[in-house]
């Protein structure tokens, strides 16, 4: 599978493109079961991040990272399929190299992800361009924190505010209203987006989870920086246990 010319130009103009039904129902059942297994298991090489829910006060799993560092090879192959590599190659202009991978669980009670540019999460120290492939595992709807993206293409292809800061403290609908849209997605839909396009999601105020996988890639010519990224992150923002859930004023991304 290749992206059409119009999909590539949509990405270049707006900073993202949605590809409906990228993964079929069979793949999504396996992927969903795999996520359940990862969430339930103790130990393993993956990094889990827990936070205290602002609404329920409970400790909740918000994210699992570093999933493919020697583990879960079958699933790495399934999600970073040859179709995925072809599309990423088209968008990056050269072969993709995995930079980082995470599952955002966004369970009921999970806080907002404020409007931001991904590059603001300290990525400048690695290189200046990344593309993320987001895979919707559950239905993404307004009630369970579907993502909102700037759709106008009206953003800088560089940092628009200091690192680690959000672009806005507000939840969606973001302002100006006509420049943003809620992206309701179904399981198997994929969003390819660049590291500068503003996006975010509200708290999950519903009663169903919204699990999405985020796979971030850089250009092969920038090298393989994944091990360094996770070594740095282990020092600056280590994984934690449910009993040591982070409070809203202490979490990063
Ligand atoms: O999972 C979400 O709702 C937000 C994800 C996101 O924007 C990010 O992690 O950079």
Q: Helix, strand or coil for residue 65?
A: strand
The closest-lying atom of ligand 1 relative to the alpha carbon of residue 201 is 3
Distance from the alpha carbon of residue 26 to the mean position of ligand 1, in angstroms: 25
How many angstroms separate the CA atoms of 95 and 86, rounded? Answer: 8
Q: Is 117 in the pocket of ligand 1 (CB under 6 A)?
A: no
CA atoms within 13 Å, Cβ hemisphere of 67 = 29
Q: Which two tokens stand for residue 44?
A: 């393993």
Q: Indicate whether 73 pLDDT > 70.
A: yes
User: Quick one: residue 166, left, alpha or beta (phi over 0 = left, psi -120 to 50 = alpha)?
Assistant: beta
> Which pair of structure tokens corresponds to residue 37?
């297994």
- Tell me the fold of 5-239: Jelly Rolls (2.60.120)
> Is the pTM higher than 0.75?
yes
* Closest by CA position to 51, among listed 236, 247, 234: 247
> Does residue 238 have a pLDDT over 80?
yes
71 falls in which pLDDT band (50, 70, 90)? confident
Cβ–ligand 1 distance for 138 under 6 Å, the answer: no
Check residue 161 and give its pLDDT. 95
CB of residue 210 inside a 6 A radius of ligand 1: no
Name the DSSP class of 142.
G
- Let me know: does 219 contact 126? Beta carbons within 8 Å: no
- Per-residue confidence (pLDDT) for residue 252, from 0 to 100: 65
pLDDT score of 251:
53
Residue 239 is predicted with a pLDDT of 92
Q: Is the CB of 140 under 6 A from ligand 1?
A: no
Any atom of ligand 1 within 6 Å of the Cβ of 118: yes
CA distances from 151 to 12, 216, 218 (A): 12, 20, 23
- Distance of alpha carbon 208 from alpha carbon 143, whole angstroms: 9
């Amino acid at each position: 599978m290749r992206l059409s010319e119009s999909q590539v130009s949509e990405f270049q103009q707006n900073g993202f493109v949605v590809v409906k039904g990228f993964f079929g129902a069979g793949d999504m059942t396996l992927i969903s079961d795999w996520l359940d297994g990862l969430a339930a298991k103790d130990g393993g090489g993956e990094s889990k991040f827990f936070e205290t829910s602002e609404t329920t006060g409970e400790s909740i799993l918000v994210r699992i990272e570093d999933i493919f560092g020697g583990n879960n090879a079958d699933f790495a192959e399934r999600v970073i399929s040859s179709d995925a590599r072809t599309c990423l190659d088209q968008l990056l202009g050269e072969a993709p190299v995995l930079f980082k991978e995470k599952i955002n669980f966004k369970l009921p009670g999970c806080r907002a992800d404020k409007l931001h540019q991904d590059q603001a999460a300290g990525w400048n120290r690695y290189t200046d361009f990344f593309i993320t492939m987001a895979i919707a595992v559950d239905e993404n709807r307004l009630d369970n924190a579907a993502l909102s993206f700037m759709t106008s293409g009206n953003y800088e292809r560089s940092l628009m505010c200091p690192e680690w800061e959000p672009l806005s403290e507000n939840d969606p609908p973001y302002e100006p209203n006509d420049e943003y849209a809620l992206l309701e997605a179904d399981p198997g839909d994929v969003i390819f987006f660049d590291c500068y396009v503003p996006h975010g999601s509200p708290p999950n105020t519903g009663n169903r989870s919204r699990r999405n996988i985020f796979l971030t890639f850089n250009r092969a010519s920038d090298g393989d920086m994944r091990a360094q990224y996770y070594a740095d992150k282990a020092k600056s923002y280590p994984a934690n246990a449910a009993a040591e859930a982070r409070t809203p004023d202490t979490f990063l991304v």
